Amino acid sequence: MTKLKRVLDGIVDTRRHHVYEAAQRVLNRIPMERARALQFEWLMVPFPKYAYGMQKAAALASALDLPGFTAIEFGVAGGNGLVAMEQHAARLSSDLGLSIDVVGFDLAIGMPPATGYKDLTYRWSEGDFAMDEQALRNRLSTAQLILGDVSDTVPDYRPYSPIGFISFDLDYYSSTLAALQVVEGRHWDNWLPRINAYFDDLRTIEWVGERQAITEWNARHDDRKVGQVKGIRDSVFSGPAWAEKMFEIHLFEHPVYGKEIGSADWVGSFAERARSKPTLRLRPVPEDSFRAQQLSRARVRAGLQTPLRSEEPF
């Protein structure tokens, strides 16, 4: 047994550099930038719900030939969501040549006093989620931070580019209803005709919290509505729980509401993308990339085509 082990150790020892060199060859051939692009495309990133909503907004902006859009987070707190939003915006900007403005609204000193039972006083307390403003600003590079109570800051707010994605994470009914004012008025340039929205705090009954704010806002408006989008869970690879928190705000009288875009803003799993043939291609696979060669080899094995010219024999 010891003799056999010595022989095996000897073989491993003499072959170790071959194994190391082979591993290095493989690693060198994986383009990390491409891997990161794929992770984003397949929503394998922090805050995938934001990535999903922003991809859809990007697809819609592109389909409408618009140069970009604004993504907003209502309720920033420590800032992990806003930092992720900024990263998603950077990726979409570089991949699609869009200009994406990222904006975060927060009170900074934590939750304000509740206005009544609809604010779920049994769950949240005044002062919860206070922000370390300086620490957050050090982590941000391009995002705009608008600090103050949303009932004061939102009515005067004008976006630089049409709003395409909003995350509502203010917890309270009263704060959410105040934030929804960002979709009021008739300045059509302020919005894409359909805004993708994420509501974080739906785990309650419809008479309180965010759900009550949505009901009240809808009751106040005939020309625009916010509603949950069904069927996302089936179309996203991992079937995530956040799918049921994805909404859209439709502005029926927006000048380009009815402009035909087909399924251009469908975003989903790889299979879904292939089926729907969306116009959103986050980045074409370069011919000489590792992924293209893998695909080519698989196709050759399946008898579908000859290898790429640049490919080494295998």
Report the residue number, 128 or 234, with the smaller CB distance to ligand SAM.
Answer: 128
- Please report how close the Cβ of residue 34 comes to ligand SAM at its closest, in angstroms: 29
Q: Residue 213 and residue 178: Cα distance in Å, rounded?
A: 9
Q: Which one among 31, 78, 240, 307 touches ligand SAM, defined by CB under 6 A?
A: 78
Of 188, 200, 227, 182, residue with least CA distance to 71: 182
| Among 64, 93, 110, 272, interactor with ligand SAM by CB under 6 A | 110
x/- binding map, residues 163-182, to ligand SAM, per CB under 6 A?
------xxxx--x--x----
Of 66 and 154, the one with the shorter C-beta distance to ligand SAM is 154
Q: Which of 72, 76, 208, 246 binds ligand SAM (CB under 6 A)?
A: 76
* Candidate list 31, 112, 240, 307; residue touching ligand SAM; CB under 6 A: 112
Among 53, 68, 81, 278, binds ligand SAM (CB under 6 A): 81
Q: Choose between 178 and 208: whose C-beta lies nearer to ligand SAM.
A: 178
Which CB, 69 or 105, lies closer to ligand SAM?
Answer: 105
**295's tokens:** 């695909």
59 or 170: CB nearest ligand SAM? 170
Q: How far is the CB of 118 from ligand SAM (least distance, A)?
A: 13
Cα separation, 44 vs 59, in Å, equals 19
CB of 154 or CB of 282, closer to ligand SAM: 154
State in angstroms the smallest separation of the CB of 116 from ligand SAM: 14
Q: Which residue type does 228 have?
A: Q
Backbone angles phi, psi at 100, to 5 degrees: -120, 120
Interface size with ligand SAM, residues (CB under 6 A): 22
3-class SS at 87? Answer: helix
Among 149, 234, 253, 288, the residue binding ligand SAM under the rule CB under 6 A is 149
Q: Give the residue with the Cβ less far from ligand SAM, 110 or 307.
A: 110
The reply to whether 265 sits near ligand SAM by the rule CB under 6 A is no
Burial 294-305 (b: 16+ CB within 10 A, else e): eebeeeeeeeee
Place of tokens 């009901």: 215
Measure the CA dihedral 279/281/286/289, to 10°: -140
Alpha helices, DSSP H, located in the chain: 2-29, 32-41, 48-63, 80-96, 133-139, 150-153, 173-179, 209-220, 232-235, 270-276, 290-301
Closer Cβ to ligand SAM, 170 or 282, answer by number = 170
Q: Which position among 75, 164, 193, 278 is part of the footprint of ligand SAM (CB under 6 A)?
A: 75
Alpha-carbon torsion angle 84, 45, 162, 104, nearest 10: -20
Give the separation between CA 263 and CA 224, rounded to whole angstroms. Answer: 21
Name residue 183's amino acid.
Answer: V
The least distance separating ligand SAM from the CB of residue 122, rounded to whole angstroms, comes to: 16
Task: Please give the structure tokens belonging to residue 151.
Answer: 């009932």
CA distance 267 to 42: 9
Residues 15-74 that bind ligand SAM (CB under 6 A): 73
Which spans of this chain sit near ligand SAM (rule: CB under 6 A)?
73, 75-78, 80-81, 105-107, 110-112, 129, 149-150, 169-172, 175, 178
